Amino acid sequence: MHIGTARTALFNLLYARHAGGRFLLRIEDTDRERSTAEAVGAIFEGLRWLGLEVDEAPIFQHARSDRHRAAALEMLEKGAAYRCYMTIDELGQERERARAEGRPIRSPWRERTAETGSNLPFVVRLRAPLQGETVVRDKVKGDVVFQNRQLDDLILLRADGSPTYNLAVVVDDHDMGVTHVIRGDDHLNNAARQMLIYQGLGWRVPVFAHLPMIHGPDGAKLSKRHGAQAVSEFAGMGYLPEAMRNYLARLGWGHGDDEIFSDEEAARWFELEHVVASPARLDWAKLNHVNQHYIRLADDRRLAGLALEALRSRGAHLPADAEARLARTIPLVKEGAKTTLELADLTLFALADRPIALGEKERGAFTEEVRARLGRLAGVLEAHGDWTPAALAERLKAFAAAEGGGFGAFGPALRIILAAGAVAPDLAAALAALGRSEALGRVTDALSQLR
């Protein structure tokens, strides 16, 4: 599920909630080769992860083929469509002539019919008007004018009786009661053709709103070289679904200068008229900023679960009490994480097993004086009852003042011991995250190695 598809789904949901309508999902699976179970499953999974819940059971387009064929036959009866008996060779020749003359394909069968009882294979084509213009009154793009002479007599039913995309979506939108079609602007050309099908069937044309594409940071069409494109990739990179909803809503739509807002606020504010007509640019810095905001707000137990999942996927070492260690650590380090992957990295110091070996480079920080200070600090901390970050920060400050020389006299060495070769928060937070037993044990182990 592409990020552009995800944003389109979100805009549909927001508008439905804003207008008191229904958010509907249709799986357009008339192309049986491309519509694999895996592809359909990715759509459901992408919507589920993003938290976009539809209001009714999904419609599978392929199951409605009989209804689509009935609509095409109705158009035949009304004269809005016709049977075309061109052979493959004749179609190829007409395509070459049309290309050379800069016009759409015109079938000779538009103005004549086969003899009664003919068993020749045929397709059903739309009888598009040859004069005038078709105007798509788009809520995002404004009025888009198509000259009818440039619109082809598109195929509605193939020779095997299967419906084409444009016919199927028109019939399904009508039967599903769709009032607003909000989709990517790569479908803008289809809108003119679909309007002619609506008119041929005598149905009300829905409101169209065609959203601009999402481009990369350099302004070029989003591609693999820009990084993640699929929703699943963003999930795997450590972005939270609520952050993605907030960011995607802001990607091409806005409400003043508001950058952070709730789902309820987005639905209340959302208007199609405020969607920007020009392509939006994916901005990783802004996405990270929004994600960091939602990580700060997220439940710590949920974050611990996500961090554990990320660590397991990497094959990281996990001690038997990893969950308890994560529960202590997450609240103390989450402020600095832009993604849940970064969050997982920030917990690694707390997951290391003892004894933690000190390398030659690290040993250089432990002079005799530093070792003596750490020994005295261990005694002070062991006698200290309150093991919260705030209380530990006060105790460290008092110790530094009593010893003289400030934190620089022991802090760097203590950090080496507590961090275990990973990134760690400030000393008080690291001590609190490790817990009394583990923290003091690491200090004792280190001093034992250095004797």
The angle at the Cα of 318, spanning 313 to 320, to the nearest 5 degrees, equals 135
Report the CATH fold assignment for 1-57+212-297: Rossmann fold (3.40.50)
Q: How far is 178 from 188, CA to CA, in rounded Å?
A: 17
Amino acid letter, residue 282: L
HSE-up of residue 273 (Cα within 13 Å, Cβ side): 1
pLDDT in single tens digits along all 451 residues of the chain: 899 999 999 999 999 999 999 999 999 988 877 888 988 999 999 999 999 999 999 999 999 999 999 999 999 999 999 999 999 999 999 999 999 999 999 999 998 876 655 788 999 999 999 999 999 999 999 999 999 999 999 999 999 999 999 999 999 999 999 999 999 999 999 999 999 999 999 999 999 999 999 998 888 888 777 776 889 999 999 999 999 999 999 999 999 999 999 999 999 999 999 999 999 999 999 999 999 999 999 999 999 999 999 999 999 989 999 999 999 999 999 999 999 999 999 999 999 998 888 888 889 899 999 999 999 999 999 998 899 999 999 999 999 999 998 999 999 999 999 999 899 999 999 999 999 999 999 999 999 988 7
Q: How far is 238 from 385, CA to CA, in rounded Å?
A: 37
Confidence (pLDDT) at 268? 97
Q: How far is 185 from 136, CA to CA, in rounded Å?
A: 12
Query: Are the C-beta atoms of residues 94 and 100 closer than 8 Å to each other?
Result: no
Return left, alpha or beta for 161; rule: phi > 0 is left, psi -120 to 50 is alpha, else beta: left
Confidence (pLDDT) at 116? 54
**DSSP code, position 205:** P
Q: pTM for this structure? A: 0.90
Coil vs helix vs strand at 419: helix
Q: How far is 152 from 443, CA to CA, in rounded Å?
A: 80
Query: Are the C-beta atoms of residues 87 and 121 closer than 8 Å to each other?
Result: no
Return left, alpha or beta for 395; rule: phi > 0 is left, psi -120 to 50 is alpha, else beta: alpha
* φ, ψ at 34 (rounded to 5°): -85, -25
Q: What is the secondary structure of 385-413 as a DSSP string?
A: ---SHHHHHHHHHHHHHHHSS-GGGTHHH
Tokens encoding 134: 């078709």
Per-residue CA distances from 251 to 32, 227, 247, 296 (Å): 33, 17, 6, 22
Q: Note if 78 is an active site residue.
A: no
HSE-up of residue 132 (Cα within 13 Å, Cβ side): 6
Query: Are the C-beta atoms of residues 180 and 187 closer than 8 Å to each other?
Result: no
Confidence (pLDDT) at 385? 84
Report the CATH fold assignment for 360-449: Arc Repressor Mutant, subunit A (1.10.10)
SS3 string, 295-343, reads: HHHCCHHHHHHHHHHHHHHHCCCCCCCHHHHHHHHHHHHHHHCCCHHHH
Q: How far is 402 from 362, CA to CA, in rounded Å?
A: 26
For 77-198, where are the E strands, in sequence order? 81-84, 123-126, 133-138, 142-147, 155-157, 180-184
As beta bridge partners, residue 26 has 59
Q: How far is 34 from 40, CA to CA, in rounded Å?
A: 10
Long-range CB contact pairs, 220-224, < 8 A, 24+: 222/3, 222/4, 222/282
Confidence (pLDDT) at 34? 80
Q: For the chain, how many helices (H) and strands (E)? A: 20, 11
Please identify which of the residues 139, 141, 224, 338 carries the catalytic annotation. 224
Of the candidates 176, 194, 156, 162, which has an alpha carbon nearest to the alpha carbon of residue 72? 156
Tokens encoding 335: 């402020």
Helix axes 411-419, 427-434, angle to 10 degrees: 30
Confidence (pLDDT) at 291? 98
Q: How far is 93 from 263, CA to CA, in rounded Å?
A: 55
Q: Which CATH class is domain 62-171?
A: alpha beta
